[in-house]
Structure 1
Amino acid sequence: MLIGLLGLGISFVLGLLLYPRFIDFLQKNNVSQKPSEYALDEYKNKKPTVTFGGVLFVVIPVLVSLVMLLFQPEPMTLLIMVIFVLYAMIGLIDDYKIIKEGKNDGLKASKKFLYQLVLAVVFYFFYQLNGGKNILAVPFMENGIDLKWAYPLLVFFIMTGTSNAVNLTDGMDGLATGTMLIALIPFAYFAKIAQMTALFVFVLSVMGALLSFLVFNKKPAKIFMGDVGSLPLGALLAMIAIVLNKELLLAVIGGVFVFETITVIMQKISWKTRGKRIFKYTPIHYSFTLSGWKEKDVVLFFYALGLTFMLIGFGLSAIS
């Protein structure tokens, strides 16, 4: 327990020390990004804010964890770290194109999808190589379900879906950061009781780095995480859930991200088939501001929603 808390504390302090300098560097080099293309017009008119914030909360926990584990993490944890960094590289390329071209297009969706597919295949290959099984753990079932050839499809769906879901949630100051922190709490606990010490240390180190980022990402945000942050965070949640056999619980614990994604899908289907919107706006957090809510209140509501989903997930884990 102590080593995990130490990782959290060191990552938090390093983030507090490095983010002001990183923000100054980005501002001097005009590395700023306009609000998301999904944002409301009032958000699009906001002053550009520096991005690439995810770079530090990806690099810091990886380095801190490796040093604390004497560069000998468990194979599964090392695999998660590597894919975590590679997902960040996809996001970095995407963010770089956005900044260079001055518009929010970034990578083509087909290219991003292809890169995510490749990383999911790589993850699954080494997951199997290190003893991973094609078993889907189901609450109240002792042995779970052997999905055989369908399990790698599930892996791709979970990794791609979760990474893009976190990306959709990253639309208001502190929203994705705070909800991700909440979602990581139970997975840190699951890693601890599974006696996966290296994974426990890494998850808490990520949480420490995210806490320091939140100091500068809360309203009014001085820095955005960008795709370099949101994509790896979503993939991280997915990989942890897979390694710990908590795939179904992920849908509950990450309920905020599921909610954001489902409402976007429903809106698109309704618009294409009926020419009508179900919600005022999607991603759904913007619907609340259109209903008169202040941005700060929307973020706090989603934090509360995330906490509720987290507690339900804990409850289901305890009784299954």
Structure 2
Amino acid sequence: MSNYKDIIRVIVISFTITLLLGPILIPILKRLKVGQSVREEGPKTHYKKSGTPTMGGIIIIAALLITTISSGLLNRDMIVLLLATIGFGLIGFIDDFIKVVLKRSLGLRAYQKLLGQIVLAVILAIYQSNNSVLGTKIIVPFLDNTYLDLGMLYVPFIVVVVLGTVNGANFTDGLDGLASGVTLIILSSFSLISLKAGMDSIAIFSAALAGACLGFLRHNSYPAKVFMGDTGSLALGGAVSAIAVLLNLSLIIPIVGGIYLAEIVSVMIQVTSFKLTGKRVFLMAPIHHHFEQKGWKETKVVVVFWIVTVILCLIGIYSLS
């Protein structure tokens, strides 16, 4: 049975590995010239970031693998979580590779990314429905011992949750330290929730990935020395959604992942509004750019979004108590 000391130990190990890997891998990424291209329609303050190495998500995934495999708690659930994280990370890696190495600006086509994500989400949903004692039931937050049985709707529901989370995390990765900081807070909450529920392997996995995010902030906080790229953002989104699914807590994602939700919804609103009316609702989407256009400094947007995530995660933990 794991305890808080085990959680702290795993966080420290993963954090340290990420700190050590950064100075090794970042220069390699620079030599490979895998620099980020900044979109011209983006905020002018971001132009100076052009050329900053991307694909730094490799550092996070490497630290996660080393920490979890050496934890001594590698079981079926943890293997599923690792495969989900690596699977979504691989989709992001291929996209990054095409864009920054092969110099094809569009990367993977939208339908290719979506198809890969759907396949992974379906596999995850089928695994959980066949292996969880709850089957196709999910826990309803704020209602003690209340479960919602989705039956045949379980798989499509999980697919929507996973795709929303993964792409929400992807949209959140637009400012230095934003995605890594927000995800760190969410993962820390999941680690505590898992530990309380006696799901040791999930608690350790969440803590290991939280430690990796914390270490990555050393390299990714403003001004960033490296970006995680789609390699990292899709991997983090995949991990968060997979943890929620294995905990039967898919309904808590809109709460603890409120920033992910706000980011993806802001893009959907912006695109829909512009197509239907020719007008934009936000000054720029995703929503973190809207606040930048309002005059907020990048660091202020990041810290405010972190604070919001802390509050949302406290609400999420309370909803299960």
TM-score (norm 1): 0.94
For 2:62 and 2:197, the matched residues in 1 are separated by: 25
CA gap of 1:100–1:187, structure 2 versus 1, over 3 A, is same
Matches within 5 A, 1:205-220: 205-220=208-223
Q: Tell me the SS of whatever aligns to 1:68.
A: coil
Q: Residues 33 and 98 of structure 1 are in contact (CA less than 8 Å); yes or no, is this contact kept in structure 2?
A: no
Q: Of 13, 33, 36, which aligns to 1:30?
A: 33
Q: Residues 34 and 100 of structure 2 are in contact (CA less than 8 Å); yes or no, is this contact kept in structure 1?
A: yes
Aligned to 2:302: 299
Q: Residues 178 and 214 of structure 1 are in contact (CA less than 8 Å); yes or no, is this contact kept in structure 2?
A: yes
Q: Residues 36 and 171 of structure 1 are in contact (CA less than 8 Å); yes or no, is this contact kept in structure 2?
A: no
Aligned to 1:64: 67
Question: What amino acid maps onto 1:93 in structure 2?
Answer: I
Aligned to 2:171: 168
Q: Residues 19 and 215 of structure 2 are in contact (CA less than 8 Å); yes or no, is this contact kept in structure 1?
A: yes
Aligned to 2:103: 102
2:78 is equivalent to residue 87 of structure 1: no
Q: Identity of aligned pairs, percent?
A: 33
Q: Tell me the SS of whatever aligns to 1:224.
A: coil
How far the C-alpha of 1:118 sits from its partner, in A, is 1.1
How far the C-alpha of 1:217 sits from its partner, in A, is 0.2
Aligned to 1:317: 320
For 2:104 and 2:155, the matched residues in 1 are separated by: 35
How far the C-alpha of 1:210 sits from its partner, in A, is 1.0
Aligned length: 316
Matches within 5 A, 1:78-227: 78-131=79-132, 133-139=135-141, 140=143, 142-227=145-230
Spell out, residue by residue over 1:186-239, the C-alpha distance to the aligned partner (whole angstroms, 9 max, x if none). Answer: 111111011111111111111111111100100110000011100011111111
For 1:28 and 1:77, the matched residues in 2 are separated by: 34
How far the C-alpha of 1:252 sits from its partner, in A, is 0.5
How far the C-alpha of 1:100 sits from its partner, in A, is 2.8
Aligned residues: CA RMSD: 1.7
Aligned to 1:238: 241
For 2:47 and 2:155, the matched residues in 1 are separated by: 39
Give structure 2 stretches of 5+ with no counterpart: none
Q: Residues 35 and 50 of structure 2 are in contact (CA less than 8 Å); yes or no, is this contact kept in structure 1?
A: no
Higher alpha-carbon deviation: 287-296 or 136-145: 136-145
Q: Tell me the SS of whatever aligns to 1:33.
A: coil
Q: Residues 38 and 283 of structure 1 are in contact (CA less than 8 Å); yes or no, is this contact kept in structure 2?
A: no
Q: Residues 76 and 130 of structure 1 are in contact (CA less than 8 Å); yes or no, is this contact kept in structure 2?
A: no
For 1:126 and 1:37, the matched residues in 2 are separated by: 43
Aligned to 1:308: 311
TM-score (norm 2): 0.94
Q: Residues 256 and 316 of structure 2 are in contact (CA less than 8 Å); yes or no, is this contact kept in structure 1?
A: yes
For 1:105 and 1:40, the matched residues in 2 are separated by: 20
Aligned to 2:284: 281
For 2:256 and 2:100, the matched residues in 1 are separated by: 33
Q: Residues 36 and 50 of structure 2 are in contact (CA less than 8 Å); yes or no, is this contact kept in structure 1?
A: no
Q: Residues 166 and 238 of structure 2 are in contact (CA less than 8 Å); yes or no, is this contact kept in structure 1?
A: yes
Spell out, residue by residue over 1:35-58, the C-alpha distance to the aligned partner (whole angstroms, 9 max, x if none). Answer: 367733442453311011111211
